[in-house]
Amino acid sequence: MKKMAICILMGALLMAIVPPAASQEETGPIISILIDVDTTPSPNYDEVRSAEANLHTIYGEIARRKGTETIFLTQDVASSRIRLLLAQYSLFGAIEFGISGQHSDDQLSTLTLSEQKAIITKSIEFAEAARICGMTEVHVTGFMPPGFDQNADTYEVIDDLGFMYNAGFQAGLIFEPGHEEDVWPYQVEGRNFYALPLSTASVDGELVPLHDKKMAEMEISGSEWAEILKTKVDGAAANDEPVVVLVSTSVSADGEYLDALKAFLDHAVSQDANIVNARTLVNYAKTGSLTPLLFEESECIDCEEGEEYGQATIRAVETPAPEPAEAVDEETPETEDIEIEA
């Protein structure tokens, strides 16, 4: 597949956060945080700006604890101005971009195999465009179906496209036959990719995925959500299990759910947890190593000429990063306006 690239001429790069180490001590539980950059289907400009600011808030909280994450993108998101922010994130190689569908409300199981392949292929191209020519590489190896909706054709497509893992599973709720109890990533029978189960917990007698949107729908308070996450971390440490959490930019970027995310991350750090992206977790399940995977560099278009992508030519971007941990300000920095020539 042809590699696409964003050519960004940087006036000033203000990303001040030190990236996570290439490998981490395996002294505590392994935690993987998946971020769903969720918007309405076909979001307008204001909705994109809101999602962008919310993503930066969540990213900042994880980075302050020297962790990393996987950011899942629909085409609606990856083709928007957020791509410029993502390109700056790509400077830190441990951050991973995964892909979803075209829109947040896609139901892939209602589409033909060829329709699914067209959507997923284009989604890869948009996500892999979020890089800086000559400086960074983006390799999409992870997939999460919108709304966890998929079928055998989806499996066929992501297998054919060479995905490493599929995050469309939930431990004890959505699983492959014979893997009802599995909490670690496992290879799907007859396929080359791994299933990555989202962790689950019993809430009021019901098994529920560790997904902030689901918790909010159940009217679980922020303090209750924080306690559920802390308890899961403690259990993971005792039972040698990973913790895989899905947070949404529309839920966990402010208010009591942001407080819950902070409390969860602080507790994870206190337990010497390894906060890694999903690709690293899957690789750990395969090899026993937390060292991030390395990829060959791909050819990059000459940045001096700029690159036409969609309807815009990218010329510059400046995005302040959150302050370092020792000087954290409670007020989340906002992204600056980005110059885009139509």
Angle at 97 between CA 3 and CA 306, to 5 degrees: 40
Indicate whether 5 belongs to any domain: no
Q: Is residue 294 in some structural domain?
A: yes
Q: What is the CA radius of gyration of the chain?
A: 19
CA–CA distance from 106 to each of 75, 83, 92, 109, 282 (Å)?
11, 21, 30, 9, 26
Nearest to 254 by CA among 332, 335, 312: 332
The pLDDT-based confidence of 5 (bands split at 50, 70, 90) is very low
Assess if residue 8 is contained within a domain.
Answer: no
| Mean local confidence (pLDDT), 315-337 | 36
For the chain, the straight-line distance linking the first and the last C-alpha, in angstroms and rounded, comes to: 26
24 part of a folded domain: no
- Give the C-alpha separation, 253 to 124, whole Å: 26
Extract the runs of DSSP E, i.e. beta strands, from the chain: 30-36, 70-73, 96-99, 142-143, 165-170, 186-187, 194-198, 200-203, 206-209, 243-248, 274-276, 308-309, 312-314, 340-341
Residue scoring higher pLDDT (5 or 280): 280
Q: What pLDDT is recorded for position 189?
A: 97
pTM: 0.82
- Given a cut of 80, whether residue 276 has pLDDT beyond it is yes
Lowest mean pLDDT among 2-11, 19-28, 80-89, 279-288: 2-11
DSSP-derived 3-state class of residue 187: strand
- Which pLDDT tens digit goes with each residue over 193-242? 999 999 999 999 999 999 999 999 999 999 999 999 999 999 998 999 99
Give the pLDDT confidence score for residue 310 in this predicted structure: 35
Report if residue 18 sits inside a domain.
no
Find the range with the poorest average confidence among 83-87, 194-198, 325-329.
325-329
- Mean pLDDT value of segment 129-155: 93
* The one-letter amino acid at 320: P
Report yes or no on 20 lying in a domain: no
How far CA 226 is from CA of 95, 135, 256, in Å, comes to: 24, 38, 9
- Quote the tokens at residue 181: 């109890």
**3-class state of residue 252 by DSSP:** coil
pLDDT at residue 101 tops 60: yes
270 located within any domain:
yes
Q: What are the tens digits of pLDDT across the range 48-65?
A: 999 999 999 999 999 999
Q: Does 342 score more than 70 pLDDT?
A: no
The answer to whether residue 21 is domain-embedded is no
Structure tokens at 281: 């977790």
Calculate mean pLDDT across residues 11-24.
35
Share of the chain above pLDDT 70, in %: 78
Of the two residues 301 and 149, the one the predictor is more confident about is 149
Q: Residue 108: which CATH number?
A: 3.20.20.370
Judge contact between 168 and 194, C-beta under 8 A: no
The total of structural domains in the chain comes to 1
Q: Lowest-pLDDT range, 3-12, 26-35, 87-96, 215-224?
A: 3-12
Amino acid at 35: I
Instruction: Give burial (CB, 10 Å; 0-12/13-18/19+) of 56.
Output: buried
Mean pLDDT taken over the chain: 83
- The helix (H) or strand (E) run that includes residue 75 is helix 75-78
Domain span holding position 297? 30-341
